[in-house]
Structure 1
Amino acid sequence: MKNLILRGISLSAALLSSATCAYAGDARFSVFEYNGTRQESAIAKPAADQYINPILSGYYPDPSITRVGDDYYLVNSSFAHYPGLPVFHSKDLVNWTQIANAINRPSQLNFDNLGTSRGVFAPDISHHDGTFYIVNTCVDCGGNFVITATDPKGPWSEPVWFEFEGIDPSIFWDKDGKAYMVNNGAPNEPPRYDGHRAIWVQEFDPKTLKMVGPRTQIVNGGVDITQKPSWIEGPHLINKDGYYYLTAAEGGTGDQHSQVVFRAPAITGPFVPFEGNPILSQRTLDPARTNPVTSAGHAKLVQTQNGDWWATFLATRPYGPDLYNIGRETFLLPVKWDNGWPMILEGGKRIPFTAAKPNLPVGPKPAVPMNGDFAYKDEFDTLSPAWVGIRTPRTAFYNLDKGDLVLKAQTEAIGDKKGAPSFLGRRQQHHIATVTTAVTYMPEKDGDRAGLIATQSDDAYLFFGLTQMAGQTVIALNIRQSASDPVAGKRLIMAQIPHKAKSPVYLKITANGGTFDLAYALKKGEWVTIRKGLDATFLSTRKAGGFVGTLIGPYNEAAK
């Protein structure tokens, strides 16, 4: 018999269950399969010397990148999902493997009572003198902080908190050995308009992990404050050819998103904007174009060991007018320097789905690809770091037993917006995707339910699985839509089929842009469609709100 394995979501030893058998009300999931195809796959076939954009498919926004020798490390926002702040490694900027979650202990951050789009925003990763640093903002849960590690795989330290306000801090390591913190903050005047923000810089002492000296505003509003630029954020500094360059996102996270650049002779300015701004955006393109990439921005530049410059940034791939269920993704493009200014992509050009690979030795391919068309099968021998839940768990709600993922029944339910429900999910990484699982479960009372959840937020999710209604076990399909829809907060029963068997029930969700097909089987492969063409646009960011993407995975809820 296999030994019990407890991995993936790190809990303190006192919280971990030592049992090797399922309890009453437990749900056992024996497999989780995913198969995804890019919606642009037919028109974007890479040549041998090309890579595919995005480099991280699905909900991996706000990428921050750093190089240490010939190794590259990248971290993304994860909001109130736990474990949080996924850390990736690459040798070639194209093939990425997740090596850690920097937030993986309940003692580090408390996401209790947070909506899924609060929590950790826009992390920045850097390295200096043998130590890795991630600076970040925990929105509604403490403010700005830094964590450190000598190995990017962890362990990462407990947070050290700062007192300065604002979001999106990043560390700049100057050539003279000094370090500076740059971030988005309130302007040093009454705000002139909604979204009026500023960029500030202050010296940072890496030995004490404290801020020192005065805090200086270096950009007010954005490129041209008379045009009321909104939400200047995600700032990063570099020192090149006698200038300090400040790059930042401007225009908000929607389709007006962009990346802009300024430069100055000194760290405190005066910073002058580039006349050719923005250096990256898709906002001037025809909104009716086929296979669009939109909302591009929040870039960070990195120089390779060969001297070339590249930028990672976020963008989206809608399947309809501003409709995307899979969230904001990580893209990669080369940076060209001309007359002392960087350019990621000239105005009017489309972000390419394929492009020439960086001039770097080919790195190892990950066990599960992060881009292109791919599939994987998880049989729960171990738990990948890609599995995440919602909010910080305070008790153990899962274990791995005999090749099954066992979820304990909890009264904490998805949508309660308090603690951590009994849910583990993987990112939906393609608009065209199929997810299947096998669940063994018998509800004990009305309202008990277990199966698959596809969730974009606490108020926008789909449940497909087994439940008890009026004393009878049924295979049910329910949805809950967000406050932007007329049925806000209601669980809509879309289908229900009586069920008496105790053997595994196979569940399948097939996504195609804004629709879902749902099927079940009592014998493997003998699929019965329970609903075809279900409108799944309620799982889009536009309708659900927030900043995340759809997660799909096993769930178990005990009725209150």
Structure 2
Amino acid sequence: MAAVALFSVALATPVLAVQPAEPAPVLFDWFEYTGRDIAFGTPLPEGHYRNPILAGFHPDPSITRAGDRFYLVNSSFAYFPGIPVFESEDLVHWNRIGHVIDRPGMLDFDGLGMSRGVFAPAIEYHDGTFYVVNTAVDSGGNFIATATDPAGPWSDPVWLPTVDGIDPSLFFDDDGQAYLLNNGPPAGEPRYDGHRAIWMQAFDIAKLQPVGPRRVLVDGGVDPSANPIWIEGPHIYRRDGWYYLNCAEGGTGPQHSQVVLRSREVWGPYVPYGRNPILTQRDLPADRAHPVTNAGHADLVQAPDGNWWATFLASRNYGGVHYNTGRETFLLPVEWKDGWPTILDHGLEIPYVAPGPAFLSRRASQAPSTGNFTWRDEFDTPELGREWMFVRVPKQAWADLASHPGRLAIEPLAEGLDTLRNPAFLARRQQHLAFEAGTALQVPAEAGTEAGIAAFQNETHWYFLGARRVAEPVGEGGGEGDAEGGHIELFLEKSSHAGRQVVATRALPATDTLLLKIEGDGGDYAFGFDAGQGWQWLARGQDGTLLSTDVAGGFIGAVLGPHARITQNHER
């Protein structure tokens, strides 16, 4: 399992003469995740691959090639570590090798909603150096980071204070001159809501700063008369004497699309392709089986064999509009027709299974990136696997794998899942519409500590299946208990637009070890437990749509993982 250091935070807490006792850490023995999507059950013929290539909350992919290797980055918003970096030899099998934002001091997301933070990174490789440009929304603005090894370490952010807007990207021309593109406000007053422009400026690679005048390459979109919205995600490529400007248009929802323009000169004028968009799913029947929607935000790359491929985001829906897995990364070949690139002909559905590149590895499985699989973490490595994320940037080391070998020890915090800071919650992506996630934990020994497993979309939309120890014996009608040692209270809590509420509770006999699980199938979620007498359900038929992006809002997908918190019984 690839590993990443838990923290590199140095705490500077003054030593007091008298300090309140810290709650004991909660110990988790293992965490297991299984996906069982019907769409992934289709057999995979030899030489084919499965879409999405990165399932579950991997939006805004950007790709580059260095020699015979490909490198891809995604948005991570307010999660930490930020901006995952993937490597592949065949465009299909991807390994997460690191993160661009992997040191707590690089960025701070405290006070931000989960769908703020780092948006739409763009990666390029030039002359031995990797470059990532990005926007830290509400947390610093546009910046660039560099590395000679894409696995890291990456430089601290170098801020670009003169660049407004979002979605910056770099283009290196054949003469070595670099250019910075981005989405920004139009030159004058916007004519309508969503009216944006694509800007470009020369970029000094030695100083890592833009230079010279900024110019608008596209105002509004490919057809200004139609008032197109949110022209964004620009990338420029050079091929056969043409400069191709590739952009997303229509917003990141069901109207999302990809458009292309070209020019003989890098500064334009850029002329739109007559058959735009080159990728969309907005015109397909809503009642199609296993729909893929929201397709766009594509980036193109040329493989060593001369063929071109596109990575892009799209979502797998249920119920017509819901998607708990967020925006995912897909792959399709690029076909050049009469000097123009096309990703998918109009009216065609994005395939779940497609022919791969000629250099596709013979490895059939793409797990744990996509497909149906079981993934289990025994917490028996020195460091956390890179699959795990933190909600915002941790300010203290509340999790470790060293103090209790073979177990994950989480120090409970006063921060709950509704905080705008960092709760004691480890998150891994929900990658399937139909899934099961479970864990085994040592029930907290102290009253005032609550621990269990959470399904989390953002700070206002989540479920928490937890347990707490109650010192008093169970009263009349309270169920089973131990009159001498008290009992365990199991509870399911949820948060939505209606606020926080307790869905169900149950008293259990005093026990040390408890197994908890969450099962989901589209919008139907169930929450179960095993206290030594086999699996039982605490609550079934729960509304999982509150974890969908369309209900909760924002740009991310649901995540799952262990969580521990303290109540007012502990003073910190």
Whether these two folds match at TM > 0.5 is: yes
* Matching residue of 1:476: 491
Question: Residues of 2 paired with 1:253 and 1:504: CA distance?
Answer: 44
* Matching residue of 1:496: 505
Gaps of 5+ in 2: 14-20, 473-486
Give the greater-gyration-radius structure (CA). Answer: 2
* Matching residue of 2:181: 182
1:523 aligns with 2:532: yes
2:3–2:385 Cα contact (<8 Å) kept: no
1:465 Cα offset (Å): 1.5
* Matching residue of 1:10: 7
* Matching residue of 2:398: 397
1:225 Cα offset (Å): 1.2
1:281–1:295 Cα contact (<8 Å) kept: yes
* Matching residue of 1:357: 356
1:478 maps to a residue whose letter is: E
Give the secondary-structure state (helix, strand or coil) at the position aligned to 2:225.
Answer: helix
Give the secondary-structure state (helix, strand or coil) at the position aligned to 1:41.
Answer: helix
Q: Deviations along 1:287-319, whole A, 9 cap, x unmatched?
A: 111111100000000000000000000000101
Give the secondary-structure state (helix, strand or coil) at the position aligned to 1:313.
Answer: strand
1:75 maps to a residue whose letter is: V
1:512 maps to a residue whose letter is: D
Give the secondary-structure state (helix, strand or coil) at the position aligned to 2:550.
Answer: helix
Question: Residues of 2 paired with 1:499 and 1:477: CA distance?
Answer: 14
1:325–1:541 Cα contact (<8 Å) kept: yes
Q: Relative to 1, partners in 2 of residues 1:316 and 1:8: Cα closer, same or farther, differing over 3 Å? A: farther
* Matching residue of 1:425: 427
Structure 1 window deviating more from structure 2 (435-444 vs 355-364): it is 355-364
* Matching residue of 1:416: 419
Instruction: Output aligned runs, 1:129-208, within 5 Å.
Output: 129-163=127-161, 164-208=163-207
Give the secondary-structure state (helix, strand or coil) at the position aligned to 2:206.
Answer: coil
1:391 maps to a residue whose letter is: R
The structure 2 residue matched to 1:548, chosen from 543, 556, 561, is 556
2:28–2:440 Cα contact (<8 Å) kept: yes
The structure 2 residue matched to 1:538, chosen from 516, 537, 546, is 546
1:8 Cα offset (Å): 4.1
Instruction: Output aligned runs, 1:154-553, within 5 Å.
Output: 154-163=152-161, 164-362=163-361, 368-382=367-381, 383-400=384-401, 401-417=404-420, 419-442=421-444, 444-446=446-448, 448-467=449-468, 473-481=488-496, 483=497, 487=498, 489=499, 491-523=500-532, 526-553=534-561
* Matching residue of 2:70: 72
Q: Relative to 1, partners in 2 of residues 1:340 and 1:249: Cα closer, same or farther, differing over 3 Å? A: same
Q: Deviations along 1:471-514, whole A, 9 cap, x unmatched?
A: 67411111101x3xxx1x2x221111113424110001111111
CA RMSD in angstroms comes to 2.0
* Matched pairs, number: 541
1:367 Cα offset (Å): 9.2
Q: Relative to 1, partners in 2 of residues 1:201 and 1:470: Cα closer, same or farther, differing over 3 Å? A: farther
Normalised by the size of structure 2, how large is the TM-score?
A: 0.91
* Matching residue of 1:19: none
2:132 maps to a residue whose letter is: I
Q: Relative to 1, partners in 2 of residues 1:255 and 1:126: Cα closer, same or farther, differing over 3 Å? A: same
Question: Residues of 1 paired with 2:362 and 2:182: CA distance?
Answer: 33
1:9–1:82 Cα contact (<8 Å) kept: no
Structure 1 window deviating more from structure 2 (80-89 vs 463-472): it is 463-472
1:258 Cα offset (Å): 0.3
Normalised by the size of structure 1, how large is the TM-score?
A: 0.93
Q: Deviations along 1:399-423, whole A, 9 cap, x unmatched?
A: 0131111111111221121x21101
Give the secondary-structure state (helix, strand or coil) at the position aligned to 1:154.
Answer: coil
Give the secondary-structure state (helix, strand or coil) at the position aligned to 1:537.
Answer: helix
Identity %: 48
Gaps of 5+ in 1: 17-21
1:442–1:502 Cα contact (<8 Å) kept: no
1:515–1:535 Cα contact (<8 Å) kept: yes
Give the secondary-structure state (helix, strand or coil) at the position aligned to 1:40.
Answer: helix
1:41 Cα offset (Å): 3.0
2:146–2:155 Cα contact (<8 Å) kept: yes
Give the secondary-structure state (helix, strand or coil) at the position aligned to 2:7.
Answer: coil
Give the secondary-structure state (helix, strand or coil) at the position aligned to 1:157.
Answer: coil
2:52 maps to a residue whose letter is: P
Q: Relative to 1, partners in 2 of residues 1:267 and 1:15: Cα closer, same or farther, differing over 3 Å? A: farther
1:9–1:83 Cα contact (<8 Å) kept: no
